Structure 1
């Protein structure tokens, strides 16, 4: 006759094995936490910790359901099954207390949250990563489930879709106003995700070789769609660099003679995309572009659009609608104290006046030209009539 089976174990309906496995994991994790060099000890137990993380939600559900049933049905306290349940519960509580102490966290954190914090701490321990370990370490540090990596995936896809064909500064941008707005919204999040990912790699590897190798690889165009966390980082970094070059070329050309700052480029590119379908669209003031600065940038772009990048010797005549648009932009820009950049834009207008007025009586008043941008636009309109 075989050994008697505890009937209460049968009532757990398959949960017993799950709880027994959790019991063993809890004991090993507690042993590691109690060691003097506990971080180094537990780093060697990362596979065990991952098992605990994957199973913890199911363990919590199974343990709670089993304890409630044992109480409701008055299972005997001396039953090995009941004793096992209480031991799992006691180990779980002890593990949570130990993690709160080691991680300096509040007692309100759940065990699942504490185990997640422990995994993050162990994964990001500063250490020397040997060249042969760099690939595996990058995969370990940048799992696809990491929030920053998910953000990188979206950022890289958007940039590739918008910039894969390149940008012709003379022709404008190929993406729509809706796509431009999506780019404006996604860019800060993408930049933050890239910074977080690179910082994570650099913080772990004391030699700097891990991040250094990946940065070199990011200079090359991806040969296939990204499939892993590190590849998503390389994909997003490559297209971010490509997008920045395209945006720089666009604003350097279309806002000449001004030199927009790097912080202004994205906002200006978005405005250009809107202006292509709505010529009267205004460049809104923002924390990046102040009101008068926006007017000066608008005026520079309108002059570029009117006269062309090459500033032909015989600039075309403008319609009254175009001159009125220039007046409005100049009036807004005049709120800015006259400085070197405003003078460069004023020089474009002075050159136009000089070319149009050459050989006429207007040239006699050259020294008396207005100092304000609006006054110069008014004078240019008069000589263009």
Structure 2
């Protein structure tokens, strides 16, 4: 039986870590447990959760910053921000639908996994919004980023390093991050009936216009009907979001529609439909299908996304849709994960990052879930991990130190 710890303080977490290091036992680090299916399987002797280490420590709306303990539910953070007309600009994804998990996502988990959504390509990732961290390293020492010189990692940005480390370098106990005002108005333009290559050209054209597009996605016909209860117009949907002051949004939407006049049929969604649509794109609704069919999150150059999908369709069964102007491809395989094939084509198209987000246990154990690092980067990652977690007690089995 695996022993489960839920300390309610930083010192409690540090004490558990010190004991584990002394006894040479390993720890699986979890927050709300909503991303338990992400990455390679973690095989640990004990589980340590930050769930009870919760609460907003400081919030300064005028300065647009917040500090919260790592186990604070994301919903609590977002509610406090909404009460002041503010938001997390990077739109963190909720993984529960695709994994079929329960529980509450935590703010520490958001940053530990560097979770971002449709606005990421203009607002930055979670990592880019993180200002400071407190964490417990593998020796059971409490570290505040910037406040302590660490042997062998002097000069490295520990804040950025901890974001996306998936609990392999330390246990986040507190995060400080920036927030932004909620845009007072938004509009979503839909261009219908385009194939994948045409949609890539339309999104590139939209991004080249002086209209400040904050969301650009393409939903092929195979998935279009699974968004907003099938309320999108007929045909594949290329969707473009504009945000800002109401008068500005209206003017920019008119300019965008005019600029795309030579492409397919154009329309606009009402505010309620648009809000629901972008939440469903963020949470990958088409593939929240209650299965463990392999699901890939692939980041490539925007012009290469549709080429990747076309090449894979010649070799295997695959369904896909596109976010980030086509640079983020969500791929659901119909049978096997095909890790070697996916990564070979990604490399042939100029490189990128392919993460096996979901698969059955056998597939997750067989293939690296995260993009293999170049030898020099892998060597540096190992040195950093050896410094922060010398006994390798955190999340054994995870094959990426920083993602």
What TM-score do the two structures reach when normalised by structure 2?
A: 0.19
More helix by share: 1
Q: Which has the larger radius of gyration?
A: 1
Higher relative contact order (CA 8 A, sep 6+): 2
